[in-house]
Structure 1
Amino acid sequence: MLAIKRIHHIAIIASDYAASKQFYCDILGFTLLAEVYREARDSWKADLGLNGQYVIELFSFPFPPARPSRPEACGLRHLAFAVDDIQAAVGVLQDKGVTCEPVRTDEFTGKRFTFFSDPDGLPLELYQS
């Protein structure tokens, strides 16, 4: 059996690296752990952490093609972040100009959740744990 311990990181390619870095750090609260410009690829790479743990690799590449989010397409559907208080989290996002869908209740778990998007339209979810 493969002994996977946990998800190590999630990689995201941004069309506007600076805007996405600002969104993930200043709005969502990730910490910039490291950042490097890779000249051979004309690409920035940032390592973003959450609560001291490395979670997201944020990349820039020249002219990346759009990846459809709507209608839902095959592949990664969305990223979900756990929060203790969904209403408070939605309020923080709305205060920062981020539009959230109405909060719903998961019919299987009874937990509350909502969706919003990053600057490239990547679907993100807040899930009350």
Structure 2
Amino acid sequence: MAIESVLLNVRDIARSVEFYERLLDATVVKSTDDSAELDLVTARFLLTRVDAPADSTWVGDDLQRGFRHVGFKVSDLDDRVAALHEAEVPFHLEPIHAEGGVRITFFYDPDGTLLELVEGPLQYHEVYDREAVDQDWGLGEPDRPRFDHVAETVADIETTTAHFSSLGYVRMAGIHQPSDDRGFEITFLRSGDSSLEVFTYDKAEKQQRTPQLDALGFAAVTFGGTGTGTGTGAGGGGRGGATVAVGTLLGQDVLTDPDGLPYIVARA
């Protein structure tokens, strides 16, 4: 099951639609005062207006387990950054050359969701599934920003890999971070045309966060459709860690992985 949609809680639908349409070339599928659906090439973004949001406990510290950011592939990073600066969008990290031969930058959407732009094909340090890497690279340079991944920090990569294997995810590749003394590694789990980008920090203490479905920003990710794998489960117990039901969104049950990433398994 690939990532089918990303659910975001927003304060103002029109403001958020304008942001994603103008700065990330999103195509508006439908929009009302209460919700919107946006096409970001390989996934839909589903926006829901929240009038009285809870105070978010998310912090921009990758040592906090669970959701970290949403990533897009672009072919024109400098032009995108210039437009973001002109729009006075707050940045978390100005463009840098990163491990894997890519250029990246991080910034925030109007409701505090951390977004990343990635330019260039990642040159993975470790390849675990050549077919998945070839399919990744085969997508080529995008004509417009293409949804690429959701990132999360986890306590144990083996547990996370086992958990998402039941949804058809394969361990595709990895990137080392030799300059980071916290034992930082990135592992990419792949299904379909997007990834789960998984952070581990073997030499640093991580903090657990209780999932919030009623705060502004990222709410959950929906898995659906077909991907590179064949699993159809919902991340059961055993080695992969038991799923935990934490509520409902859009009339569907929201589960979490062992590190608190909220997700929905779309109904067939």
The question of a shared fold, defined as TM-score above 0.5 by the shorter chain, is answered with: yes
Runs of 5+ consecutive residues of structure 1 not aligned to the other structure: 38-43
**Larger % of strand: which?**
2
CA contact (8 A) 2:109 2:115 kept: yes
Paired residue type of 2:87: K
User: Where has structure 1 moved over 4 Å in runs of 4 or more?
Assistant: none
- Larger Cα-atom Rg: 2
* Structure 1 residues 65 and 74, CA gap change in structure 2 (3 angstroms): farther
- Equivalent residues of 2:13, 2:36 under 8 A apart: no
User: How far, CA to CA, are the matches of 1:25 and 1:92 in structure 2?
Assistant: 13
1:104 and 2:108 aligned: no
2:119 aligned residue: 128
**Are 1:15 and 2:6 an aligned pair?**
no
Structure 2 segments unaligned to the other structure (5+ residues): 121-268
**Counterpart AA for 2:13:** Y
Q: Which of 43, 50, 63 pairs up with 2:52?
A: 63
The alignment partner of 2:3 has SS state of coil
Identity %: 30
Secondary structure of the residue aligned to 2:68 is coil
Evaluate the alpha carbon distance shift between residue 71 and residue 54 of structure 1 in structure 2; reply closer, same or farther with a 3 A threshold: closer
CA contact (8 A) 2:23 2:80 kept: no
Task: Provide the C-alpha distance between the structure 2 equivalents of 1:27 and 1:88, rounded to a whole number of angstroms.
Answer: 10
Match of 2:23 among 27, 34, 37: 27
Pairwise CA distance, 1:122: 1.1
Could you say what the CA RMSD is over the residues aligned between the two structures, in angstroms? 2.0
1:40 corresponds in structure 2 to none
Which residue identity does 2:38 align to in structure 1? L
TM-score by length of 1: 0.77
Q: 1:115 touches 1:125 (CA, 8 Å); kept in 2?
A: yes
SS in 2 for 1:20: helix
